[in-house]
Chains A and B, each alone.
Chain A
Amino acid sequence: MARAGRVWRWGLVAVAAGLAVAVAVHFWMMRVPADLDLSRDKTSQEHLYRVALAPEAEPLRQGPMQSLVVSVSTADGRPVEDATIGIDGGMPQHGHGLPTSPAVTAYLGGGRYRMEGIKFNMAGWWELKLSISAPPGDDRVTFNLRL
């Protein structure tokens, strides 16, 4: 009997521990960092570029297809003309990517690029990760958006 009691107790411990972990993971996943940097004008990770995002129509919304203008300049402020810009991103809390494959479709001059095909199918915290390749080198920058 004592052995059965022990098994029962350890079973409970295991279930409680599992539940506690599940609750912790749940709350962690749902948490948006309080100090989330929502800046739309940033320096890239390796400090090669200054990158600014501007929606063609404010505000960015959940639902429709939207376009952005991405402005790229060198660290000392000269517009970058021949950049290849890739985009990735998603919702860090849900572990999924962007619902579309946006792409740069036009160079607008002055280091400005039109990016089309942006769509957000859910409300919440989104990341847009841009990779920039141009003569100064390859670099990345991540923007946070809250919808």
Chain B
Amino acid sequence: MRPAFTLVWLFAALAAVLLAGCGPDEFSQAERQAIAGLSLDKLPKLPPSPTNAHADDPAAAALGATLFFDRGLSANGEVACATCHVIDRQFQDGLALARGIGTTNRRTMPLAGVAWSPWFFWDGRKDSLWSQALAPMENPVEHGSTRTFYARYVAGRYGERYARIFGPLPDLTGAPAAAGPLGSAGERAAWQAMPQPQRDGVDRLFANLGKAIEAFERSLVHAPTRFDRFAAALEGGKTPAPGAALTEEEKLGLKLFIGKANCVTCHNGPRFTDDHFHNTGVPPVAGLPQDLGRLTAVRQVADDPFNCLGRFSDAADEAACGELRFMVKDGEVLVRAYKTPSLRGVAGRAPYMHSGQFEDLDAVLDHYSRAPAPPSGASELHPLTLSERERKALIAFLGTLSQDD
């Protein structure tokens, strides 16, 4: 036999080995177990928010909902939380880089199931949802105003509702219209000139603004999709009903997802995320400043006065702050590491990655297949060989994680 022919047979044998077990008709016991673990009915109940005493107070949630949509909470009267977290678009905006007063460096994250997350923002620079909600308020390119502005605005417009939930408003007599520790030089100087008790009062009101928003955001949850109905039928040993069936292509995609493609390594559990940070070699975006991801964030969250261990936290003791106390604080593993996003609803949420680097899922799969060298740090990816059919199958499966797909 000619060597070239031998090689053809070798290739065929290798392909057969690789494809073995990929027949879409049957799922092994291990696969069934993996599929059940992704099902939304396995989601634990809403975890408590020990740093926010008002997290489950309906009045706080109602005020939070009002604040979430209030464009008055911005320097130009045009930016609300809902500007980027758009209610009918999975609470995200479909843009590569979020736009408030200016343009940010990051992609807006969707909010369903956000209250199950231990860390917030792509790099986890916040350790509670209420503390997260504060950061865009003082970011010049998002809501863009100052701490005293927000205190005066909330006191003036929502004072009675606020006081019923959080107690007496602080004394804002003589408080500057625009002062805060993160503003311009003038705003910072005005903040420093305020009496300490008044600064404390403003800080506390500001923290409570976030706590009300968190109470509202805790109500934002994932709804079951066709995948969940399929998983329930599979687990119950039943034939999936018409609205619960997956096509052969989608089943192949599911097998790849939990098998050869190793997606489930990080996109695990009912929310399809391990809530952790990974360098996957995502390229930088031209024109944006250097972005080191988690490496920068661990310092920020450790120093944050609004963190779990800070004086605005309602945690009874440090036992509630395990994520912060035991976070990995240094090492190459943090360089350009970003949070694993949930894949629920992912098909309707282009573009992808922390700065919207990839415009569609095909580009994402292309990246995971090539596993390119990272701009810095060490990528956790290994090259992956996917046929055209397998790529399409994976994308088809991801579509079953959207409502009304």
A96-127 to B contact mask, C-beta < 8 Å, 1/0: 11111111000000000000110101110000
B274 touches A20 (CB 8 A): no
**A73 CA to B383 CA in the complex, in Å?**
46
B268 touches A117 (CB 8 A): no
Measured between beta carbons, the chain A residues less than 8 angstroms from B222 are none
Q: How far is the CB of B4 from chain A (nearest CB, A)?
A: 6
**A22 CA to B260 CA in the complex, in Å?**
13
B325 touches A117 (CB 8 A): yes
B1-29 to A contact mask, C-beta < 8 Å, 1/0: 00110010011001001100000000000
A19-31 to B contact mask, C-beta < 8 Å, 1/0: 1101100100000
B256-269 to A contact mask, C-beta < 8 Å, 1/0: 00000000011011
Interface of chain A residues 68 through 105 with chain B (CB within 8 A): 94, 96-103
B265 touches A94 (CB 8 A): yes
Measured between beta carbons, the chain B residues less than 8 angstroms from A119 are 326
Evaluate whether A123 and B323 lie within 8 angstroms (CB atoms) in the complex, with A23-B17, A101-B328 already known. no
Measured between beta carbons, the chain B residues less than 8 angstroms from A98 are 328
Query: Does B245 sit at the interface, judged by CB under 8 A?
Result: no
Measured between beta carbons, the chain A residues less than 8 angstroms from B17 are 23
A122 touches B268 (CB 8 A): yes
Q: How far is the CB of B60 from chain A (nearest CB, A)?
A: 26
Residue of A nearest to B265 (CB): A122
**A20 CA to B326 CA in the complex, in Å?**
41
Query: Does A36 sit at the interface, judged by CB under 8 A?
Result: no
A101 touches B10 (CB 8 A): no
B326 touches A117 (CB 8 A): yes
**A97 CA to B329 CA in the complex, in Å?**
13
Evaluate whether A121 and B18 lie within 8 angstroms (CB atoms) in the complex, with A9-B4, A94-B265, A100-B326 already known. no
Measured between beta carbons, the chain B residues less than 8 angstroms from A9 are 3-4, 7
Query: Does B241 sit at the interface, judged by CB under 8 A?
Result: no
Query: Does B276 sit at the interface, judged by CB under 8 A?
Result: yes
Query: Does A7 sit at the interface, judged by CB under 8 A?
Result: no
**A87 CA to B3 CA in the complex, in Å?**
53
**A117 CA to B7 CA in the complex, in Å?**
52
B276 touches A16 (CB 8 A): no
Most chain B C-beta atoms within 10 Å of own C-beta, residue among A8, A117, A119:
A119
Query: Does A32 sit at the interface, judged by CB under 8 A?
Result: no
Measured between beta carbons, the chain B residues less than 8 angstroms from A102 are 326
Contact of B329 among A22, A23, A101 (CB under 8 A): A101
Measured between beta carbons, the chain A residues less than 8 angstroms from B274 are 99, 121-122
Evaluate whether A23 and B4 lie within 8 angstroms (CB atoms) in the complex, with A97-B333, A117-B322 already known. no
Residue of B nearest to A20 (CB): B14
Query: Does A12 sit at the interface, judged by CB under 8 A?
Result: yes
Residue of B nearest to A120 (CB): B274
**A20 CA to B10 CA in the complex, in Å?**
10
B14 touches A99 (CB 8 A): no
Measured between beta carbons, the chain A residues less than 8 angstroms from B385 are 22
Measured between beta carbons, the chain B residues less than 8 angstroms from A22 are 383, 385
Interface of chain B residues 272 through 290 with chain A (CB within 8 A): 274-276
Query: Does A136 sit at the interface, judged by CB under 8 A?
Result: no
Q: How far is the CB of B267 from chain A (nearest CB, A)?
A: 10
Query: Does A45 sit at the interface, judged by CB under 8 A?
Result: no
Measured between beta carbons, the chain A residues less than 8 angstroms from B14 are 16, 19-20, 23
A121 touches B276 (CB 8 A): yes
Evaluate whether A65 and B266 lie within 8 angstroms (CB atoms) in the complex, with A23-B17, A100-B327 already known. no
A136-147 to B contact mask, C-beta < 8 Å, 1/0: 000000000000
When A and B form their complex, which 8 residue pairs have the shortest distance between CB atoms, in order from nearest? A117-B326, A121-B274, A65-B322, A121-B276, A100-B326, A12-B7, A99-B276, A101-B328
